[in-house]
Structure 1
């Protein structure tokens, strides 16, 4: 439902006078982000600008700084922007950026109406080096050793392995269609799909289980399931939506643990360069085993297993943070710069070089994985971390 003009004017005035409550700010930002009231918002801002006397400076230095702090939404009580504070990004700032576009329009409108000006074209500055985001890229290795580069393969049937047909769908998924097999069927052949750095892919297994693979990951699986269990192996990170089959539990093996499920949704992050393997449950139930550690997870819980064997279960995790990558989002909550840059390294296919010590900063925020690396780095630089891209390297200064 479209917001009434009276309500919008009220929210705008409250925000402009810095008397809006946090709830009112959130409501205004949501309206801006929705875009349905752009014309009215533009009119309100234009009216404010037209009240300024010709020749009068728009804002003094103190006012400009105050507006900047207000837009950035400082978490400090005195609204000061302190180096190293936790960064609250995207969401409110993304919406505020839309408001800034309106302000920019009104500035130009005001200047053109009040006095003739001579414009000089200025070159837009772009990074000398940048890195493009990843995409749907993977290599499939069949049982006979043949490899298929999936991002180059045509849609349709890719291979036939016995009674199993392997297809690439129009929306870029890898689909396995297998005929029903008896329990005494021969041992099935094994296929492996590997995503490189800068890659991701979705696979539909012979039983209908859906698997999303993140960058620099692999999935090893049979071309059909037979026997008492369905077993696959992964490295890196994968999200599973397991097809229900109470008579044949589904097992996922990593280098640190084994996860057993019947039918459920969960995410496994098990990169070798991460100190902690994380298994996060969204719905259903899973049993996880690692050495002497075992646990049964409930939705919203996460099992954490470190490289040195320490294990624990964490309650009430934000599952959106753990699965944002599957939905095309970088999402950080109290994340260190090193962890963020490891994600960037895998997604943008770059190496990270630290010129000094690793900055001890924590970040909160989100940004689309479809942006170039420079946009992610610009977001991080708001906290004072200095970064640059040179060739295939992200350099932390």
Structure 2
């Protein structure tokens, strides 16, 4: 096969896995040598591309079997699904994108748009607001024998004093029953909180958790908007732990799970990693489900059903990664917009493609957009807005 024909098949999304591997491995070699290539230069570089691909094909016809797959795995380079490329990009491994791309104008932005970080606001029961990313480490407040501390690694920890925890004592205990705090993250923020019972909660961007300062009732119940990962403590086995969202309630005793309940997503997804949970819809027509590890309950407006094999995708945000599998452009852009604190608008008729791959959330916005624009999608940034065009 001629190199030009192979390139045309690649751009059209018609390559076999082996043919994709040839193009992608060549591309890695091209970058390692410091040569310039961006999505805007691809069409003008046909001669160079064809020559290099021809040499690869002629010199090593068994290239795929001998070397391509190990080299691609080791480099963690390119994933291709239905013709749209996403690079596994790590800010500590900048060779994944040529320097000339990183130095480009930021799609019209006045300055680089940086990724999110540990940002959150704590609203105490008395209305006091504490901006956690600006607050110093150490003790932040005390409520009815509950001490709230910010640790040096950016966690919020609740510690119940011996007096407040002592059985039969009413000092501060009754007040703690009705004291409700709220921690919320903005777009571009995330935060970890350790609840009074020892449960650990990681909040994703644009999320909030409302919880009592002490779990004094029959159940341990919290309210979530947005997305959070829970590691429920088994310190109070007699009290079930419940997470309520606008559409559903999840009940557990001690387990690890993730809930994605953003209002702008088409459904609520609960992904179980360890233990067991029961998910039921607040609309009786959708019923309930008991999940086993590795299962995901997805609740839409009309049904509650189980998905399988979604753990890595659901947990990627907590590991600092955008991970997509057969995701449409709008789903990808919703995740990007939350993390970079932007709004997204669309112009023109966009290609109907599915994206699969990983991008590190430590990347600057311009780097992410360079990756996403590899195939027939273009972006410009105007203030706090991303405009997506064909």
Give the TM-score taking structure 2 as reference length: 0.74
User: CA 1:330–1:16 in structure 2 vs 1: closer, same or farther (change >3 Å)?
Assistant: farther
Please list the CA deviations of residues 52-93 of structure 1 after superposition, one character each: whole Å capped at 9, or x if unmatched: xxxxxxxxxxxxxxxxxxxx879699xxxxxxxx43433499
Give the alignment of 1:19-58 within 5 angstroms.
19-21=62-64, 24-32=67-75
Matched residue, 1:366? 358
Alignment length (residue pairs): 316
* Of 223, 230, 235, the match for 1:240: 230
Match of 2:336 in 1: 344
CA contact (8 A) 1:131 1:392 kept: no
Structure 1 residues 100 and 374: alpha-carbon distance in aligned structure 2, compared to 1, 3 A threshold: closer
Of 185-194 and 323-332, deviating more is: 185-194
Q: Is the 8 A contact 2:379 2:387 kept in 1?
A: yes
Residue by residue over 1:110-156, the C-alpha shift from the partner in whole angstroms, topping out at 9 and shown as x without a partner, is: xxxxxxxxxxxxx9655441422111111000011000000000000
1:187-336 correspondence runs (5 A): 187-244=177-234, 245-290=236-281, 292-306=286-300, 309-336=301-328
- State the 1:311 CA deviation: 2.3
From 74, 84, 87, the counterpart of 1:87: 84
The aligned counterpart of 1:58 is none
1:287 deviates by 0.4
Matched with 1:43 is none
The answer on 1:386 being equivalent to 2:381 is no
- Of 87-96 and 217-226, more deviation after overlay is shown by 87-96
Rg (Cα) greater in structure: 1
Which is worse superposed, 374-383 or 264-273? 374-383
Alpha-carbon shift at residue 27 of structure 1 (Å): 1.8
Q: 1:237 to 1:125 in 2, by over 3 A?
A: closer
Aligned-residue Cα RMSD (Å) equals 3.0
Task: State whether residues 208 and 243 of structure 1, in contact with CA within 8 Å, keep that contact through their aligned partners in structure 2.
Answer: yes
CA distance in 2, matches of 1:358, 1:32: 31
1:392 positional shift: 1.1
User: How far did 1:28 drift?
Assistant: 2.2
Q: 3-state SS of the aligned residue for 2:387?
A: strand
> Structure 1 residues 392, 178: closer, same or farther in 2, change over 3 A?
same
CA distance, structure 2, for counterparts of residue 100 and residue 192 of structure 1:
40
In terms of mean alpha carbon deviation, does 370-379 or 216-225 score higher? 370-379
1:162 aligns with 2:141: no
Alignment of 1:177-196 (within 5 A): 177-179=159-161, 180=165, 182=167, 187-196=177-186
Contact preservation (8 Å) 1:374, 1:389: no
SS of 1:21's equivalent?
A: helix
Q: 1:389 to 1:18 in 2, by over 3 A?
A: farther
Shift of 1:99: 9.2
Whether the 8 Å CA contact 2:221–2:243 is kept in 1: the answer is: yes
The 2-side partners of 1:23 and 1:264 are apart by: 44
1:140 to 104, 117, 122: 122
Is residue 2:17 matched to residue 1:17? no
* Secondary structure at the counterpart of residue 324 of structure 2: strand
Higher relative contact order (CA 8 A, sep 6+): 2
C-alpha change, 1:96 and 1:171, in structure 2 (3 Å) is: closer
Alpha-carbon separation, structure 2, partners of 1:148 and 1:94: 31
Does 2:374 align with 1:377?
A: no
Give, in whole Å, the separation in 2 of the partners of 1:378 and 1:22. 31
8 Å CA contact 1:249, 1:261 repeated in 2: yes
1:174 matched to 2:174: no
